Amino acid sequence: MYIYTMAKSTLQRQKIIADLIDDGKISSQNQLKGILKKNRLLITQATLSRDLNELGAIKKGKKMVYLYTFYLKTKTIMLIKK
């Protein structure tokens, strides 16, 4: 029962993180961590970093503006442009 609860909370947290990244305005882990904190979701930097990695989030940008996006989303866009 405890393991299921942990897995469920991880999935819920990662869904929130993914939704925030999809909004297209996250430029740093620190910014994301602050937004999560405002929403009463307290996590460590290590957990956030691990979640971003598991979600496949990457930083992408140009002209000194870098935002988080998803690797698969970027690959899909690149394939469509070809």
> In degrees, to the nearest 5, what angle opens at C-alpha 68 toward C-alphas 62 and 72?
100
Number of structural domains in the chain: 1
pLDDT at residue 80 greater than cutoff 80: no
> Which domain range does residue 16 map to?
2-81
- Which amino acid, residue 60? K
**What CATH number does the domain containing 27 carry?**
1.10.10.10
Residue 79 has a pLDDT of: 41
Least confident of 22-26, 37-41, 68-72, 76-80: 76-80
Mapped to the 3 state alphabet, what secondary structure does 19-82 carry? HHHHCCCCCCHHHHHHHHHHCCCCCCHHHHHHHHHHHCEEEEEECCEEEEEEHHHHHHHHHHHC
